Structure 1
Amino acid sequence: MPETVKTKATLQNVIEVLRSNTSHDFTSYKPGTLQRRVERRMGMKGFPATDMDRYVALIEADSGERDDLAKDLLINVTSFFRDRAVFETLRNTVIPDLVNGHTSEKPIRVWIAGCSSGEEAYSIAILFHEVLDGSNSAIKLQIFASDVDEDAVATAREGLYPSTIASDIDPVRLARFFIKEEHGYRVAGDVRSMIVFTVQDVLADPPFSRIDLVSCRNLLIYLDANGQAKAISLFHFALREGGILLLGGSETAGKMEGHFAPISKSARIYRHVGRSRPGDMMFSLNASAAVHAPQKSNAKATAASLSLADTCKRKMLEIYAPAGALVNEKNECLYTMGRIGSYLEIAPGYPSADLFAMTPKALHTKLRSAIQRCAQQKIMIMARGGEIDNGQGIIRRVSIRVEPIEHEGQSL
């Protein structure tokens, strides 16, 4: 059924119901993809495609159907060493270059975004294992694999796959990196220990940083143009200069191709070029964007769900914590919390992560001085006596507190 104005509005209602009642936000998904999958669920429930309003009422009332729809919208199509030519390029060219360009003092950091049930993450880990073994290198490896689907992440952590994976994996690799069990093959412990799996929404949660290789294959094709642009800008921000971006066969760097030099156009492998400028990173100033709705309750999701203590702490922070922002050495906002909108404002034009582009000019001198002193002296700096106008002639007094933070060797 073609998308009409009414259909578009109803799909927005579907998105709103899921965002309010599950841990998932499908706002940036392509409307066509959403419509096809919603209509598929409607057909399974006996609803005609023209009766989407009634289906919205169903998912508002039926948590089971709501969760089933959300699960249907999470596309988990993956396999070990999918697209063999791509993995051969990684194995023979990209990974050896990364290893040769590192010393034992600096670990190689890898991020598999949209890892689904883990097959791609383990495939890349196996390639690194082979290259590092062959080089007798003492270089450390840190692999982060993330996905918005907590059930898929639970499967990835377990590392147990059906016997049919034998058709996708070279027999030598299968014998070396997998253990045969009654119900299939389990990834060997030395490979599983290389990866940290985590539940993460690429478009809402803070990205990993100082990454040498980002792999995000066949996620962008399900996002609309804005979602794709935001993801690519976040990957550029996450990567070190010269870092590698790996995309799916039907994906490109889009309008940011000038920030990525192709290593292999056929394999969709790019090299990060230039520094990430504050205006290049698209992000949400709204801290609540990184606070997920309540997780659905089931056995597999228990580890990923918020505990009562976490929920309580989060709510207390929302209500009582002062507004704050985490910035890097370039004064780019990485994360915000509290009622930050009362103090920071996104200026017209292209979105900017630059703290001073969002701060009232009346605070620039005090804020810049406090940040510089904090960076130099590595102590907490308090600057009092600031004043800002709320735009209605009301003056508000502001105190600025700046504290140094070290995170994974980075000064924040």
Structure 2
Amino acid sequence: MQPTDPHFEALLTYLKEARGFDFTGYKRSSLMRRVNRRMSQIDVSDYADYLDFLQVHPDEFTALFNTILINVTAFFRDTDAWDYLRAEVLGPLVAAKPAESVIRIWCAGCASGEEAYTLAMAMAEVLGPDVFRDRVKIYATDVDEEQLNEARQATYGDREMQAVPPELQERYFEAAGGRFTFRKDLRRSVIFGRNDLVQDAPISRIDLLTCRNTLMYFNAETQAKILNRFHFALNEGGVLFLGKAEMLLSHSNLFAPMDLKRRVFRRAMRPTPPPGGLPAGPPSLVVAPVTHLDQLRSEAFAANPLAQLVLTSDGLVAITNRQLEKVFGVSSRDIGRPFRDLDLSYRPVELRRHIEQAQVERRTVRISDVEWSRSGGDLIHIEVQLSPLTAADGSLLGVNVIFHDVSAARRLQDDLEHANQQLEAAYEELQSTNEELETTNEELQSTVEELETTNEELQSTNEELETMNEELQSTNDELQSINDQLRVSTNQLDEANSFLEAVLTSLQAGVAVVDHDLRIRMWNRRAEDLWGLRSEEAVGQHLLNLDIGLPFEKLRPLLRSALTGEAGEADVDAVNRRGRAVLVRVSCAPLGGRDGGGAADEGAIIAMEATESIGRPERV
């Protein structure tokens, strides 16, 4: 046994008291591993600190429960086991039930609903959809409300539907928008609800109970408690279908294996003592009339050595006897009083809710091991039996309450236990060997369950990684599309720049493009040849600061007009890069904005063409 951490146990107690989730029956190794995983995600290393964190951040409960409750399930999980169930269990189960009777199925730990709908499809295949709707009720329960809400939607994606054969998909699911929804007419037979296997009462009168890969998360003591509830829930001959890691080797008194490999078990009958009583004698030949029957019945009831009380259906005291007055002080004087007004209604034990239970369920209710201190100070042990009294037509007449003094039986039981202890001591060596073998078997079983639990966790993690991978793949596809668009835009821009460069190079005139502040943005090859200034030296410089042979003081009015949106040209005397005097025709035009307007929002274009004094263009 792994030593328990008191801080971890305090955390489990807080979860139970604050939110009603009782994890105290879970195996500590896997439970601590999952809690530690959640703590590492929020960078908390101590259980006490994590408890404080939960108190301050109520939203953390949801994330913690989603981490603890590993909801790994699938349609037709372990196909071989489902094939056996359909072939060897469902058919005989239907045949054994009376015609038109309801078949009740309990799917415990249903998670997101795939197993419950698998049961629905399997039963519909055996009975046919019409009979299924009329006769089958599937109760699907889980402790996780979030998973139950998802199960109620009955809608699944392509990944979940991969395990469903195509012919069953066609018959039982409706496809829409890339999702598959279980048939609504059959969906009404599947009832979802919250049920905690550790704390809540089981569903009764069940013919088939599936609880697959759920018990392995609990310790041995809690498993035994749950299996006892399953035994109570199942009808005589009912079938229990478990997961592949759950063996039930130590619970043969509750369930007998039908197929141990596939983990299918049948409810075992607990031995009951044969009914006692003496055989009836031969009938009397002479039947004499009996008189004073009412007086005899009244006196017999009053003289009963057991304390006895009869209540009406309205809860009024109807009949008492002498032993009841002797033990509890309730006598004929209390006849007609409401029972709830008597001390006996709540002391030595609360009887009112048990009386109501006997009336509602129309069955005998027993309350065992009740301690009562009599007036003399003696402590006695009582067993209370509450039986509903009904008329011939089935209507409720009242409730009969009998108090059995079992003190002597309790002493005998204590003596018997003492004798058993002495007997056990005599066989201690043999029992020790047997216990060692059982311990070894339990350890092996525990190892199998732990490995299966780890496999469930890995499968859950794998599903999360697959989801993340799909999201990353989608993001990568979007980035690739954007990259392709950028590549196309870049190519178009390169083509435009190349085309513009070719155009400017082909011009016979030198061209300079300036912005609104007269800083040069472009300087073509002919301008380089004319003035001897390279493009990288000119671009970015202020036009009027260039050391070239142009008389800028004569060009200022022309440039100012171009920047205000008015084109113009002028002939000026200049000196080219060879130092020769040339006549230069300068044309200035506004560089319009992106809206195509006439104003020189972007600057101006300056074209410079040099001619000799005789008027012929100079060859540069």
Q: 1:371 aligns with which of 387, 400, 424?
A: 387
Shift of residue 19, structure 1, vs aligned partner: 1.4
Question: Aligned residue for 1:162?
Answer: 157
Q: 1:92 aligns with which of 87, 94, 108?
A: 87
Question: Aligned residue for 1:172?
Answer: 167
Shift of residue 261, structure 1, vs aligned partner: 1.6
CA contact (8 A) 1:108 1:139 kept: no
Tell me, in whole angstroms, the C-alpha distance in 2 between the residues paired with 1:384 and 1:177: 53
1:219 and 2:219 aligned? no
Name the SS of the counterpart of 1:373 in structure 2: strand
2:389 partner letter: R
CA contact (8 A) 1:211 1:240 kept: yes
CA contact (8 A) 1:115 1:121 kept: yes
CA contact (8 A) 1:179 1:188 kept: yes
Q: 1:10 aligns with which of 7, 10, 19?
A: 7
Rate the CA distance shift 1:373–1:20 in 2: closer, same or farther, 3 A. same
Question: Aligned residue for 2:124?
Answer: 129
Tell me, in whole angstroms, the C-alpha distance in 2 between the residues paired with 1:387 and 1:261: 36
Name the SS of the counterpart of 2:76 in structure 1: coil
Rate the CA distance shift 1:106–1:136 in 2: closer, same or farther, 3 A. closer
Question: Aligned residue for 2:20?
Answer: 23
Tell me, in whole angstroms, the C-alpha distance in 2 between the residues paired with 1:162 and 1:324: 48
Tell me, in whole angstroms, the C-alpha distance in 2 between the residues paired with 1:251 and 1:163: 30
Question: Aligned residue for 2:147?
Answer: 152
Shift of residue 357, structure 1, vs aligned partner: 2.6
Name the SS of the counterpart of 1:358 in structure 2: strand
Matched residue count? 318
Q: 1:180-208 deviations in whole A, cap 9, x for unaligned?
A: 12141111113311211111111211111
1:147 partner letter: D
CA contact (8 A) 2:247 2:260 kept: no
Rate the CA distance shift 1:43–1:138 in 2: closer, same or farther, 3 A. closer
CA RMSD, aligned part only? 3.2
Rate the CA distance shift 1:193–1:136 in 2: closer, same or farther, 3 A. closer
Tell me, in whole angstroms, the C-alpha distance in 2 between the residues paired with 1:197 and 1:258: 31
Rate the CA distance shift 1:267–1:330 in 2: closer, same or farther, 3 A. farther
1:240 partner letter: N
Question: Aligned residue for 2:412?
Answer: none
Question: Aligned residue for 2:67?
Answer: 72
1:324 and 2:360 aligned? no
Rate the CA distance shift 1:375–1:56 in 2: closer, same or farther, 3 A. farther
Q: 1:215-259 deviations in whole A, cap 9, x for unaligned?
A: 000110001111111111100000011000011100122532222
Q: 1:73-122 deviations in whole A, cap 9, x for unaligned?
A: 11211010000011101111100011111122421110011111100000
Question: Aligned residue for 1:394?
Answer: none
Matches within 5 A, 1:11-410: 11-48=8-45, 51-133=46-128, 140-275=135-270, 323-325=352-354, 326=357, 331=364, 355-359=366-370, 368=385, 371=387, 373-374=389-390, 378-381=395-398
CA contact (8 A) 1:10 1:53 kept: yes
Name the SS of the counterpart of 1:180 in structure 2: strand
CA contact (8 A) 1:60 1:66 kept: no
Tell me, in whole angstroms, the C-alpha distance in 1 between the residues paired with 2:402 and 2:116: 51
Rate the CA distance shift 1:266–1:381 in 2: closer, same or farther, 3 A. same
Q: 1:105-143 deviations in whole A, cap 9, x for unaligned?
A: 421110011111100000011000000029978971111
CA contact (8 A) 2:174 2:181 kept: yes
Name the TM-score, length of structure 2 as normaliser.
0.47
Name the SS of the counterpart of 1:10 in structure 2: helix
Tell me, in whole angstroms, the C-alpha distance in 2 between the residues paired with 1:117 and 1:263: 28
Name the SS of the counterpart of 1:143 in structure 2: strand
Name the SS of the counterpart of 1:255 in structure 2: coil
Rate the CA distance shift 1:125–1:374 in 2: closer, same or farther, 3 A. same
Shift of residue 3, structure 1, vs aligned partner: 5.3
Percent identity (aligned): 31
CA contact (8 A) 1:153 1:197 kept: yes
Tell me, in whole angstroms, the C-alpha distance in 2 between the residues paired with 1:243 and 1:137: 19
Name the SS of the counterpart of 1:324 in structure 2: helix
CA contact (8 A) 1:215 1:245 kept: yes
Tell me, in whole angstroms, the C-alpha distance in 2 between the residues paired with 1:116 and 1:211: 20
Tell me, in whole angstroms, the C-alpha distance in 2 between the residues paired with 1:268 and 1:32: 25
1:324 partner letter: R
Tell me, in whole angstroms, the C-alpha distance in 1 between the residues paired with 2:402 and 2:238: 43
CA contact (8 A) 1:237 1:276 kept: no
Name the TM-score, length of structure 1 as normaliser.
0.70
Rate the CA distance shift 1:242–1:375 in 2: closer, same or farther, 3 A. farther
Name the SS of the counterpart of 1:357 in structure 2: strand
Rate the CA distance shift 1:114–1:375 in 2: closer, same or farther, 3 A. farther
Name the SS of the counterpart of 2:387 in structure 1: helix
Tell me, in whole angstroms, the C-alpha distance in 2 between the residues paired with 1:387 and 1:179: 62
Tell me, in whole angstroms, the C-alpha distance in 2 between the residues paired with 1:182 and 1:218: 32
Tell me, in whole angstroms, the C-alpha distance in 2 between the residues paired with 1:210 and 1:59: 40
Q: Indicate the larger mover: 141-150 or 16-25.
A: 16-25
- Structure 1 segments unaligned to the other structure (5+ residues): 278-320, 333-354, 389-412
Rate the CA distance shift 1:148–1:59 in 2: closer, same or farther, 3 A. same
CA contact (8 A) 2:388 2:396 kept: no
Shift of residue 174, structure 1, vs aligned partner: 0.7
Rate the CA distance shift 1:112–1:374 in 2: closer, same or farther, 3 A. same
Rate the CA distance shift 1:86–1:276 in 2: closer, same or farther, 3 A. farther
Rate the CA distance shift 1:383–1:127 in 2: closer, same or farther, 3 A. closer
Shift of residue 153, structure 1, vs aligned partner: 0.8
Tell me, in whole angstroms, the C-alpha distance in 2 between the residues paired with 1:29 and 1:138: 37
Tell me, in whole angstroms, the C-alpha distance in 1 between the residues paired with 2:62 and 2:112: 18
Tell me, in whole angstroms, the C-alpha distance in 2 between the residues paired with 1:138 and 1:191: 6
Tell me, in whole angstroms, the C-alpha distance in 1 between the residues paired with 2:24 and 2:41: 24
Question: Aligned residue for 2:320?
Answer: none
Q: 1:260-292 deviations in whole A, cap 9, x for unaligned?
A: 121111110011121498xxxxxxxxxxxxxxx
Tell me, in whole angstroms, the C-alpha distance in 1 between the residues paired with 2:102 and 2:81: 24
2:116 partner letter: A
Shift of residue 384, structure 1, vs aligned partner: 8.4
CA contact (8 A) 1:144 1:198 kept: yes
Tell me, in whole angstroms, the C-alpha distance in 1 between the residues paired with 2:230 and 2:271: 10
Tell me, in whole angstroms, the C-alpha distance in 2 between the residues paired with 1:255 and 1:329: 35
Tell me, in whole angstroms, the C-alpha distance in 1 between the residues paired with 2:101 and 2:245: 33
